[in-house]
Structure 1
Amino acid sequence: MPDVSGIRRLHRERFGQEPEVFMAPGRVNLIGEHTDYADGFVMPAAINFATLAAVSPAADRNATLFSRNFNESVSLSLDLIGEHGSHHWSDYPFGVLSVLQQERISVPGFHLTLDGDVPLGAGLSSSASIEVASMLAMLHVAGVELPLPKVALLCQRAENDYVGAPCGIMDQFVSCCGAADHALLLDCRSLGYRLAPIPKHLSLVICNTMVKHSHAGGEYGTRRAEVEEGTAILRRHRPEIRLLRDATVDDLKRWGHEMPPNVLKRCRHIITDSNRTVAAADALEAKDLATVGRLMAEAHASYRDDFEASCPEADIMVELANKLEGCVGARLTGGGFGGCTVNLVESNHAAQFAASISAAYEKATGIHPEIYQSRASAGAHKVGQDVVVSHR
């Protein structure tokens, strides 16, 4: 987590005011990819990489942002926020402000300082952590409290409409509602959830392939369109199918021949991965780690072969992980097309696992990876005066 005392000091130096500070974590998804916008199930965990937002009121009607990561300041009149972004980092906080304005929540002028250590473009949801931290900060200066699930929905809307990235609800929801030492099984239709314990003798080792991706368009948008095409075909036969959450593997067996081959594969991944996700939560609760590992392996194969959202580097990383001592399960996580793998590793082997996989991956690909060791962490909240030392 970034340095709390550092962001307080930076904010005081720039704006001459003592801020309140809010934290929102990134996330790693243990299982369930691209199932969220199909109203299916996902099982992410919040991680101890986060965005901090320091905020104080301004005397004028401007929203002034400073990003420590980009070393850049941006200021806009509250009357000029608009409804669409400009493909700039400020789209995330300004998008949040735009949505709050649409909700008729009167946010006065403010100064906002942002600092985060969620790796960008790695599939660990840096965007959601920025949105959630920014929204909690803006709600504070507005004097308004909202339930965290509502905050998640509004942040998702900001990313969908203002940023232009067609994400589902998972990233923002777990950033808001994650819990220490637990994964979160989320029903993306009802937003009901239950916590699945991650045994304390296991660590989350996240391996960054260093292959970057963007969700705003490109392959992510193409896959989502393919899923919608398949859903529409099934709906012709079963009108009660609103989204793939309502469809079954048997439906694909009956009517999949009407779909283009790529569309059939996309739908098969989402339906089966949603089923695997519920099974993995049950296995965690039962402390059946062998089943968790098997389901993660099946999920990666489906993501690679049916959704075709992996890449050679990620496949190599997963293959290497499964050969190392202490590895319970490994798979590509996040939106796909690069990013990170998530590995459940016995904690007493985690340090050696990290060193071994880094060396082996670099030898195989010529790319030096970044390896992050984490535990499942708490969701978004206001941060007290205590100092948190950065681990960057």
Structure 2
Amino acid sequence: MTTGEARRAFEAAYDRAPEAVASAPGRVNLVGGHTDYNQGLVLPVAIDYRTAVAIAPRDDGRYRLRSTDFEGEVRVDGLPDDPLDTHDAMWANYPLGVLVELAAADLTAERGLDLLVAGDVPRGAGLSSSAALEVATAAAAYALDTPGEALPRRDLAEAAWRAETGFVGLDCGIMDQYASALCRAGEALFLDCRSRETRGVTFDDDGLRTVVVDTRVEHELASSAYNDRVRECEAAVARFDASLGDVTSLRDVDRDALVAHSDDLPSTLRRRARHVVTENERVRTAVDALEAGDVEAVGDCMFESHASLRDDYEVSCRELDAVVELAWETSGVLGARMTGGGFGGSVVALVEAGAVDDFRAHVDAAYAERADTDVDPRTFVCSAAEGVSVG
């Protein structure tokens, strides 16, 4: 999705030209599932599917919002104190929440705007379409007030994250917003979700392809189960803190402590903690492997990550498992795992360029029977893309 397409859609909708346009990418996560809200480590890559936001100021304090994905127009007089609760307007809470946070942080002025959203990041596929929308909104609004200045990417990512956790109300980690804002083309982003430290790691996908298989399955339990996992991790933290002291998140627990005190935890909490602790180790292993050019080791980490998410964290489902099994069976697929919150959404696979067609054919031929579904998956071949940009 180009900013030019968003610009043209804005002009058609509002009969004037936008004054600022920005775009931000979706993301896949190579390794590091459900570690971000545990202050752990993640290794996301931005993908070349983007959301663009075009805006222009108004002088009456009104906000008008449109999206090419939804019918109609959302109008509010002034920035709202609470999220909109009507079904047709709920998508607008993401850009509105960002505008609220930017104004509160004095990053932008509070004034009326016309805003239009256009993009090709698949919604509901676990590719972080919401973060792409939030970060693109933040960048466009900042560029409107400070034209020509470099984007404060971290500040915009933090504002976007606060919008989703505060205004929208999803208790998520910071990975998605940071990936959309800070990733660079040809790199994965090694992110420490506790310190917010980041490092670009060369992800040379020449000869490799990042293939996303969207199962097109959305399970109703996804949001409630996500919140359950957050609470379970908090309960495990409380147990470890009682035994060890100074444990504020599962980031403070290493493998030795996990083994030594595993009997202090109920089975469910033990498995949740084991996933987080070992997943942080897998992220470090994958980073070292990428830096050494050992992509096969990265693939091994991905398969191991999925097994842990499936068995210890219990956030997979038969559709995701079926795709990972098909990836395992296909020569030239180095690794695969679920990406996103789970219970549906997508699998990300690291595939040799010459094996992409074989992998897609195997999925097309065997997925329905293996997953016991009549829903056809969608497949996207992606490259490691640039983060948020203006213009």
CA contact (8 A) 2:222 2:343 kept: no
Offset, 1:214 = 7.2
Code of the residue aligned with 1:36 in structure 2: it is D
Structure 1 CA distance, aligned partners of 2:187 and 2:360?
A: 22
Tell whether 2:197 aligns with 1:192: yes
Alpha-carbon offset, residue 216 of structure 1: 8.4
In terms of mean alpha carbon deviation, does 181-190 or 249-258 score higher?
249-258
**Could you tell me which residue of structure 2 aligns to residue 387 of structure 1?**
none
SS in 2 for 1:255: helix
* CA distance in structure 1 between the partners assigned to 2:63 and 2:243 by the alignment: 51
Give the partner amino acid of 2:60.
D
Which residue is equivalent to 1:373? 381
Q: Which residue of 1 aligns with 2:66?
A: 66
In 1, Cα distance between equivalents of 2:356 and 2:56: 41
Between 19-28 and 284-293, the greater mean CA deviation after superposition: 284-293
Matched residue count: 381
Range 66-75 or range 222-231, more displaced: 66-75
Q: Which amino acid aligns with 1:340?
A: S
Q: Secondary structure at the match of 1:89?
A: helix
Note the C-alpha offset of 1:236. 1.5
The alignment-based identity, stated in percent, is 40
Following superposition, the deviation at residue 66 of structure 1 comes to 0.6
Once the two structures are superposed, residues 295-320 of structure 1 have per-residue CA deviations (whole angstroms, 9 ceiling, x without a partner) of 11111110000000000111111000
**1:386 corresponding residue in structure 2:** none
1:130 aligns with 2:138: no
Higher mean C-alpha deviation, range 368-377 or range 347-356 = 347-356
Partner of 1:150: 155
Is 1:166 matched up with 2:171?
Answer: yes
Distance in 2 between the 1:285 and 1:134 partners? 33
Preserved contact between residue 361 and residue 367 of structure 1 (Cα < 8 Å): no
CA contact (8 A) 2:330 2:358 kept: no
* Structure 1: stretches of 5+ with no match in the other structure: 384-392
Q: Could you tell me how far apart the structure 2 residues matched to 1:85 and 1:168 are?
A: 23
1:16 Cα deviation from its structure 2 partner: 2.5
Q: Tell me the equivalent position of 2:101.
A: 99
Distance in 2 (CA, whole Å) between partners of 1:150 and 1:214 is: 33
Identify which range, 188-197 or 157-166, moves more after superposition: 188-197
- Contact persistence 1:152–1:176 (CA under 8 A): yes
Q: How does 1:313-332 map to 2 (within 5 A)?
A: 313-332=319-338
Give the alignment of 1:198-347 within 5 angstroms.
198-199=203-204, 200-213=206-219, 217-347=223-353
Query: What is residue 108 of structure 1 aligned with on the other side?
Result: 111
Match of 1:8 in 2: 7
- The SS at the match of 2:247 is coil
Q: Report the CA distance between 1:367 and its aligned residue.
A: 2.5
Aligned to 2:36: 36
1:275 Cα shift? 0.9
Distance in 1 (CA, whole Å) between partners of 2:104 and 2:222 is 22
TM-score under structure 1 length normalisation = 0.93
CA deviations over 1:42-92 (Å, ceiling 9, x no partner): 0000001111001111121011111111133111122x5114442610110
TM-score, normalised on structure 2?
0.93
